């Protein structure tokens, strides 16, 4: 049987950690330093087994701000840097509107909000610490479907974040698919 293909697009401010996140997922937990994926190798594909189905996830992590609008993604992941309040603000001020406008032809386009560089969350942050509940509330205000956060550098919560993304993605291919129990395995 053919694998179901799901296209996922990561957007968010430059340097918020998008490429490093995908590179960590690709490399697995053990390899340090993380070998960075190259832009020209996009889309980055992951074959995922879930509920005895196989899926091919194609991730686009575009660093060319004008080009991403030409893609036809099934899921959007809006990223921010937990140590940069501006990147959090920009999700609501800029990214969500840009995405809605670029893909207005889609009736239903799930949006995941992802906080990156969780290891840099600090009580001493001069801009004020960003608590998960603050970001979660913002995700709700943006009517996002999920909120996840992780650290690519330490590997903390990478797996659950990726699994949540997988579940959201699979829900686009099968009715109720996103509700299925059990984890997914990256092949
Ligand atoms: N401490 C820490 N630094 C990170 C993490 N993820 C990325 N970085 C650093 O943040 C910078 C920008 O990351 P990059 O993945 O290129 O961001 P992009 O522009 O969104 O693709 C690089 O110097 C990374 O090493 C993380 O989880 N923790
Ligand atoms: Mg990048």
Ligand 2 centroid to residue 175 C-alpha, Å: 32
User: Cα(44)–Cα(37) distance, rounded to whole angstroms?
Assistant: 8
Residue 119 Cβ contacting ligand 1 at under 6 Å:
yes
Distance of CA 52 to the CA centre of its chain: 23
Number of structural domains (the chain) is: 1
User: Cα(134)–Cα(90) distance, rounded to whole angstroms?
Assistant: 14
Residue whose Cα lies nearest atom 13 of ligand 1: it is: 17
Q: Please indicate whether residue 110 or residue 66 has the higher confidence score (pLDDT).
A: 110
Confidence of residue 181 (pLDDT cuts 50, 70, 90): very low
Q: What is the mean pLDDT of residues 48-67?
A: 86
Domain that holds residue 179: 4-186
CATH number at residue 182: 3.40.50.300
What are the structure tokens assigned to 181, written together?
């129990």
Residue-wise pLDDT tens digits, 133-172: 999 999 999 999 999 999 999 999 999 999 999 999 998 8
Query: Which residue is associated with the tokens 């690709």?
Result: 26
Residue 17 Cβ contacting ligand 1 at under 6 Å:
yes
Among residues 40, 39, 50, the alpha carbon closest in space to that of 6 is found at 50
Among residues 151, 152, 187, the alpha carbon closest in space to that of 166 is found at 187
């Amino acid at each position: 049987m053919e694998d179901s293909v799901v296209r996922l697009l990561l957007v968010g401010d430059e340097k918020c950690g998008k490429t490093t996140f995908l590179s960590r997922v690709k490399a697995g937990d053990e390899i340090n330093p993380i070998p960075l994926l190259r832009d020209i190798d996009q889309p980055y594909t992951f074959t995922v087994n879930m509920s005895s189905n196989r899926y091919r996830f194609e991730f686009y992590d575009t660093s060319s701000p004008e080009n991403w609008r030409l893609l036809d993604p099934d899921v959007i992941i809006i990223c921010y840097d937990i140590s940069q309040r501006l990147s959090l603000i920009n999700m609501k001020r800029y990214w969500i509107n840009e995405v809605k406008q670029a893909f207005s032809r889609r009736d239903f386009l799930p949006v995941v909000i992802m906080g990156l560089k969780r290891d840099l969350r600090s009580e001493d942050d001069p801009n004020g610490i960003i608590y998960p509940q603050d970001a979660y509330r913002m995700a709700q205000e943006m009517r996002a479907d999920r909120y996840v956060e992780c650290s690519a550098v330490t590997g903390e919560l990478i797996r659950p974040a990726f699994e949540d993304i997988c579940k959201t993605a699979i829900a686009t291919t099968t009715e109720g698919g996103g509700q299925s129990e059990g984890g997914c395995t990256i092949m």
